[in-house]
Structure 1
């Protein structure tokens, strides 16, 4: 089978299309004939920095859509030939991917395999950030970094559906125009501290969601209102890990939490499954849409990485692998 892998860390050019043996599922796993693979920022960090890479060579990729090819011992609730979407622990840049059955989900009715490939990471992450971790309530205000990205596009829509006000932060006017189409009431380009305060009459935001870290994390913390919550779910800036204590949290009785969908999948797949099912229903009923804004052939993975790494993209990027 064809697969894309890297044997050293570096830029997009280290990605190579190679022939590899087709993997077979182990106990509790499913093998999937891949139709589409999602491209995520975590894939870029794996390639460039070794993020969650257990050894080289490594096949990146965290999410796929396709059809069940084979089932390992002990798997129930899935059938060969069934259309599914799955969260993987790497290995998704391939014609066949293997995933734990607990993170393989039937494609919701009315959704095609192309759209299904956008679901496994983005939808559960966005839902968890707002509701399970962020505890968003109607009438509150949420501040979202990266409002034009895959997760950000969903967060604006979910916040609107929850009766909340959504403020977004992006890096360009073009991204601001895009984000306003997906539930955001106001969008700031670059600096957001003064704008967030002004937009809330000086009180600050109730919930801030940060995948960037570093100075953005600190500015988001400062933007919180009394009883405000900040949820960190990434470190795109590659800054030193954040540290907060009494001096930062006691004034205003603020709180900080974290979320990682990959950690949740490893430590509590049952919780992830319940979360994903709640999130997927919002796509099936039309509450949320996640546009695919760029699509590449599998062997063009380096182009997809270069585009995503340029920080000019909006929405979701996919690799087209097999038949949909």
Structure 2
């Protein structure tokens, strides 16, 4: 079986395409034949060592979709041939892999494997951001950084479906047009404009109820200036580098703000939450309210090139690796 492995931390060149053995599923596990694998910034963090894998070498990747080929002892909810998707289990850059059933869900027939692989991590991230971290509702004004990115496009569509006014930041005219097509009411090109000043202008000085920031260093602390008093700053990624340590008193000075950083893994700690969150995501996609844009497809063997494009912020929507 072919897989991508990392033997040492470093740049995209450390992603090696090689033969591996994965064995058979144990109790509570299934063996999945991946049809498509999702690409995410967290894959870069594991490759570089910013996030620590359990050991070296390791197979990167945290989401995928495919078919069950074998089940371990005690597995009752899945059988060979079932269409499935999974998330938050390191090791998806492979033709086949072992997955504990706690992170596995049945993929509806109407959702293609490519879509399933592209939507689990990004879509469930959007779910916890919009429905659990700050519960967006009609009338809210929200700011989404990197609105043309994989999570950003889902956040924007879903927030519009919930009745929010969405302001998005992007880095090019092409990305601005993409963000508009996916529901952004106002788009700011952060390379040309002071996004905090534009947010104040757009909101008549009131500010946003919540800022969703997957960019990190480049957008902080200006993101705080986009919020109204008692607003909420939600950080969930560091595409431009980590936010530098700051004095917590800054939150008081900027308007008695709330600030949080949450992990999808924490929200998925209970099996019932995995199922409930996935069901809500599938429902909003099947309804047509949220479309999962897969804008690039590469063979698994070209994972290094996929990482180069993602790190250079040359991608929009989702990229999937095909096995």
Question: Within the alignment, does 1:106 sit opposite 2:102 as a pair?
Answer: no
Deviation digits for residues 244-264 of structure 1 (CA, Å, limit 9, x no counterpart):
534423753321122211333
Partner of 2:207: 204
In the TM superposition, what is the alpha-carbon distance from 1:164 to its structure 2 partner?
Answer: 0.5
Partner of 2:273: 271
Partner of 1:46: 46
In the TM superposition, what is the alpha-carbon distance from 1:240 to its structure 2 partner?
Answer: 4.8
Give 3-state SS (helix, strand or coil) of 2:131's partner. helix
Provide TM-score, normalisation by structure 1: 0.94
Structure 2: state its 5+ residue gaps: none
Partner of 1:290: 292
Within 5 Å, which residues of 2 pair with 1:136-147? 136-147=136-147
Q: Following the alignment from structure 1 to structure 2, what is the Cα–Cα distance between the partners of residues 296 and 251?
A: 44
Partner of 2:175: 175
Give 3-state SS (helix, strand or coil) of 1:13's partner. helix
Q: Assess if the C-alpha contact under 8 Å between 1:67 and 1:83 holds in 2.
A: yes
Partner of 1:72: 72
Partner of 2:19: 19
Q: Following the alignment from structure 1 to structure 2, what is the Cα–Cα distance between the partners of residues 21 and 161?
A: 44
Question: Within the alignment, does 1:280 sit opposite 2:272 as a pair?
Answer: no
Task: Select between 42-51 and 138-147 the one with higher mean Cα deviation.
Answer: 42-51
Give 3-state SS (helix, strand or coil) of 1:34's partner. strand
Structure 1: state its 5+ residue gaps: none
- The equivalent position to 1:305 in structure 2, one of 297, 304, 307, is 307
In the TM superposition, what is the alpha-carbon distance from 1:241 to its structure 2 partner?
Answer: 5.2
Q: Give the number of aligned pairs.
A: 320
In the TM superposition, what is the alpha-carbon distance from 1:140 to its structure 2 partner?
Answer: 1.0
Q: Assess if the C-alpha contact under 8 Å between 1:88 and 1:100 holds in 2.
A: no
Q: Assess if the C-alpha contact under 8 Å between 1:67 and 1:82 holds in 2.
A: yes
Task: Quickly say closer, same or farther: Cα 1:299–1:289, change in 2 above 3 A.
Answer: same
Q: Assess if the C-alpha contact under 8 Å between 1:23 and 1:96 holds in 2.
A: no
Partner of 1:83: 83
Q: Following the alignment from structure 1 to structure 2, what is the Cα–Cα distance between the partners of residues 242 and 79?
A: 48
Q: Assess if the C-alpha contact under 8 Å between 2:39 and 2:118 holds in 1.
A: no
Q: Assess if the C-alpha contact under 8 Å between 1:60 and 1:90 holds in 2.
A: yes
- The equivalent position to 2:257 in structure 1, one of 246, 254, 275, is 254
Q: Following the alignment from structure 1 to structure 2, what is the Cα–Cα distance between the partners of residues 23 and 151?
A: 34
Give 3-state SS (helix, strand or coil) of 1:317's partner. strand
Q: Following the alignment from structure 1 to structure 2, what is the Cα–Cα distance between the partners of residues 307 and 120?
A: 21
In the TM superposition, what is the alpha-carbon distance from 1:223 to its structure 2 partner?
Answer: 1.1
Q: Following the alignment from structure 1 to structure 2, what is the Cα–Cα distance between the partners of residues 242 and 138?
A: 34
In the TM superposition, what is the alpha-carbon distance from 1:82 to its structure 2 partner?
Answer: 0.3
Q: Following the alignment from structure 1 to structure 2, what is the Cα–Cα distance between the partners of residues 250 and 72?
A: 55
Q: Assess if the C-alpha contact under 8 Å between 1:9 and 1:50 holds in 2.
A: no
Q: Following the alignment from structure 2 to structure 1, what is the Cα–Cα distance between the partners of residues 176 and 16?
A: 35
- The equivalent position to 2:242 in structure 1, one of 239, 243, 267, is 239
Deviation digits for residues 66-106 of structure 1 (CA, Å, limit 9, x no counterpart):
00111222222111110111114211000112222121111
Task: Quickly say closer, same or farther: Cα 1:247–1:309, change in 2 above 3 A.
Answer: closer
Q: Runs ≥4 in structure 1, deviation > 6 angstroms?
A: none
Q: Following the alignment from structure 1 to structure 2, what is the Cα–Cα distance between the partners of residues 271 and 241?
A: 32
Provide TM-score, normalisation by structure 2: 0.94
Partner of 2:185: 185
Q: Following the alignment from structure 1 to structure 2, what is the Cα–Cα distance between the partners of residues 258 and 173?
A: 30
